[in-house]
Chains A and B, each alone.
Chain A
Amino acid sequence: MGIMNFIKKGPSPDITRDPAHPEDDMRLLGGSVILTKLEAINNWGRKYSFFQYPFVTACCGMEFMSVAGPKYDLDRFGAALPRFSPRQADLLMVVGTISHKQAPILVKVYNQMAEPKWVFAFGVCAVSGGFYDNYATVQGIDTLIPVDVYVPGCPPRPEMVIDGLIRLQQKVMEGKWSDFPKGASPVSNIDD
């Protein structure tokens, strides 16, 4: 609730009383103070500043470039800057088919990311294996790591990706402190 007041009115740069706006008197210290929950403002900051790690393995990568580029422009949603180190990223974009041989790499990258972190399954291969129902392909990355948003499609339209990102933002906004740390992937080898 507090955060919504912040968004609607914004902080006032001027704390002196302006006679032309007597309604400012109703606001705390002339509008220079806002009240919110720390959790809420934290989530609000997180949802507009995703640092993504693009784990691009297949043809969905072309569609990812399209949605990340200037035409569809994920930067409008604060998720533009790819980090090519998992240590600096908090959104793992799994874009494309994951084979069994690739699986340990994906798990390692996920485990290397700092908390809090989210996972975006981009395309039907990452979601469920897609039509690669065979010996070589992982049947959905949720058999390896927890997934927050599933965006199917072969490949998904940019609109679907943007919709998925907005849903992820809603999920982040509803997040609790207690959701993190999520810990290592359930298939991690503890001896590693």
Chain B
Amino acid sequence: MEANITINKLNSRFSESIVETHAYRGDDTAIVRKEDILEICRFLRDDKELQYNFMMDVTAVDYIGREPRFEVVYHLYSLAFNRRFRIKARVPEADCSVDSVVSLWPSANWFEREAYDMYGIAFNGHPELRRILLYEDFQGHPLRKDYPIKKRQPLIGPTC
């Protein structure tokens, strides 16, 4: 089926890496092993029939109580074929890192920094992984579900 060309291609080429796929109402999604995220993304970008050349968003979700706890979500868009695709990589709390895709799409730079800032997920190979929205002295990662809702951060002086 035309709508699922991306999923079919991924299944035939990366059958080992694909955990799960679904395509509910054109909402094409693949859940993949986090070790292979860089290779899969490179394939999605470079394949002539896919050309996902636009990295639209990288974010994360905290499913606290579930193992693996985090999910890093990538939203891709193909300008050539007007096609969208979503990839998710599950990241455990113990090894809270995933390979950076900045080398493929420079626009992923700030998205990955935001995900690091809010969830504390490290992106291996990121050129400048530091907080983007919060300040350097901030303690903790506020969008984690176990971040204390009443926690107060130290006030910061003018030098920061």
Contacts and interface: CB of A to CB of B under 8 A. Distances in A.
Interface of A: 100-101, 103-105, 107-108, 111, 133-136, 138-139, 143-144, 187-189, 191-192
Q: Majority SS of interface residues in chain B?
A: loop
Interface residues of B, number: 17
Interface of B: 133-135, 138, 142, 147, 149-153, 155-160
Contact of A100 (B149, B150, B153, B159): B153
16 contacts: A100-B135, A100-B156, A101-B133, A103-B156, A104-B157, A107-B157, A107-B158, A108-B158, A135-B142, A135-B147, A136-B134, A187-B157, A188-B157, A189-B157, A192-B157, A192-B158
Given A100-B135, A101-B134, A135 B153 contact: yes
Contacts, number: 47
A104 B160 CA distance: 7
Contacts of A187: 155, 157
Contacts of A138: 155
A68 to B, nearest CB: 28
A104 B156 contact: yes
B40 to A, nearest CB: 34
Nearest to B155: A187
